[in-house]
Copies of this chain bind each other. A is one copy, B any other.
Amino acid sequence: MSFLNFFTRNRSAPVARERLQVLLAHERAFAGRTDLAERLQKEILAAIAKHIPIDGDKVVVRLERGQQVSTLEIDIEVPEQALARG
C-alpha cells in the first residue's frame, strides 16, 4: 500500500501534477463471501470519470486478493490538458 507516500512525496517537485488515489479494503466475515474489491473497481472508476477525464495510460490499478481481506488501489494522474480547463 503506497498511500502514505502520496503525502510524504517531495513537495518541492517543480511540476504541478494532480493526482487521485483510492484505496479500498474489504475484510470478509468468512472466506465464502463475495469479493467486493473487484466489483467496485469499475464503478469507482466510472464515478471518477464523470468528474475528470481519465487517460488509460495514467491509471494504475492494483488488486490483491487474500483469504479474508482484498485490497484495491487505484492511482490516477490527471492529464495536463484537463488541468488547463480548471
Report which A residues bind B (CB closer than 8 A).
1, 3-4, 6-7, 16-30, 32-34, 36, 39-40, 43-44, 47-48, 50-52, 69, 78, 83, 86
| Identical chains in the assembly | 2
User: Given A3-B3, A23-B23, A40–B29 Cβ distance below 8 Å?
Assistant: no
A19 CB, min distance to chain B CBs, angstroms: 5
Given contacts A1-B4, A3-B3, A33-B86, 8 further A-B contacts (CB under 8 A): A1-B3, A3-B23, A23-B24, A36-B48, A36-B52, A39-B51, A40-B47, A47-B47
The answer, among B1, B18, B34, B86, for a CB contact under 8 Å with A27, is: B18
Bound form: Cα–Cα A22–B36 in Å: 12
